[in-house]
Amino acid sequence: MAIRPILTAPDPRLKAVSEPVAKVDGEVRTLIEDMIETMYDADGIGLAAIQVGQPKRILVLDIDQRDGKKNPQAFINPVITWASEEMAVAEEGCLSIPEIWDEVERPARIKAEYLDRDGKKQTLEADGLLATCLQHEMDHLEGILFVDHLSKLKRSMAMKKLQKAKKLKAAG
């Protein structure tokens, strides 16, 4: 297992649409393990493969990590099959847009299908933080960042704040 570097905006690779995984094999499982280790190292609760430079439809989540527990989940080729009309607003952040947080509105409940680490088809119904996190990470697979859901003004302010933070870090 290895900790991989996380791409940060405005890296153009983050805007790429990820390719489906044809076969769940040892290479895919190694990538998943690396992604989980990278996510924990960065103190995140979700990570998409594109964020570590791999344009594959893979993401990992662990919402229990916030409570100091470990319950990592891997989703390969995830697809939302149903979304509620009811919406929910939650504050989101992103490992690829460090130190930027803002409220995003998404469907409150979803159903998703995906392959697990063994290549078996799974179905999941999610609400709350799990639904928000899953939708956030699935957006990455389409080249969408959470700031893309913000108004043009808020997105511009967030990206300026990110650039300023990068300059300070580089100088510092």
Cα dist from 170 to 6, 18, 96, 145, 156, whole Å: 16, 30, 16, 23, 21
The residues annotated with a catalytic role in the active site are 137
Q: Are 111 and 81 in contact (CB under 8 A)?
A: yes
